[in-house]
Amino acid sequence: MNYNEKGIQAFQEKRYEDAAQLFTQAIEAEPKNPIGYVNFGNLLAVLEDTERAERFFQKAITVDETAATAYYGLANLYFNAERCAEAVKLYEQALKHKIEGADVYYMIGKCFERMENPKLALPYLQRASELAPEDTQIRLAYAIVLCALEMYKEGKKELDYLIEQDWNNADAHYNLGVLYAVSTEQTEDAMYHLKQAFTLQPEYDQARYIYDMIAQRFN
């Protein structure tokens, strides 16, 4: 097991000081290998030392401009700092350099969603849901963007699936309730799902507010 592998194990076990020491040794042993810098950047990001994390990800890219995980790590920092336009460019670089999995598509979709551009978000969230069909967080984000674009039939299909998989998914109930309220005359169905949302999650104030609004209208 090399320094990076030992460091990742320590990181996963939340032995952060040990992880930092091991990643430092990895960098000293192989200064031209971007993995040590990326791992240290990920550690610093978890510790919320954003400025130093940014420097380590940038150093990894300087060492190897094809280091997909370095672009991805830096993009996550920018996403968390609400720098979504910059994050999108970095996620796209991660894709260009063959990063694997659904997460990068999901994060690009979330960037465009935050930038209030659901049309651009849609294909990325669709692709993420195709790559990770069991991921309920991805499927929910995809459903929300479908509804934002008034693609209610497709959105309902996704939300029905989520509730079928997990009856206790308060967000799916909330969004299905809103869908019924804005796109159908099925008021009882809307109220039923909104009530499920705030019953499952009592602090779900938005669900309770819309439920009360509908109730007042029909009383």
Does 90 lie in the same domain as 31? yes
Q: Is residue 162 assigned to a domain? A: no
**What integer pLDDT is reported at residue 63 of this predicted model?**
97
Statement: residue 93 has pLDDT above 90: yes
Q: Give backbone dihedrals phi and psi of 63, rounded to 5 degrees, phi first.
A: -70, -40
**Domain coverage including residue 19:** 1-99
The fraction of the chain above a pLDDT of 70, given in percent, is 99
Predicted confidence band of residue 33 (pLDDT cuts 50, 70, 90): very high
Split into its structural domains, the chain has a count of 3
**What integer pLDDT is reported at residue 95 of this predicted model?**
97
d(C-alpha 34, C-alpha 58), whole Å: 10
Q: Is residue 161 assigned to a domain? A: no
Q: Is residue 211 assigned to a domain? A: yes
Does 125 lie in the same domain as 209? no
Q: What is the pTM of this model?
A: 0.92
d(C-alpha 111, C-alpha 141), whole Å: 12
The CA–CA distances, whole Å, from 101 to 21, 105, 107, 114 equal 29, 8, 11, 22
Q: Give backbone dihedrals phi and psi of 184, rounded to 5 degrees, phi first.
A: -140, 175
Q: Is residue 197 assigned to a domain? A: yes
The answer to whether 44 touches 52, Cβ cutoff 8 Å, is yes
- Average the pLDDT over 148-175 and give the result: 97
Instruction: Tell me what the pLDDT averaged over the chain comes to.
Output: 96
**What integer pLDDT is reported at residue 138 of this predicted model?**
97
Q: Is residue 2 assigned to a domain? A: yes
Q: Is residue 39 assigned to a domain? A: yes
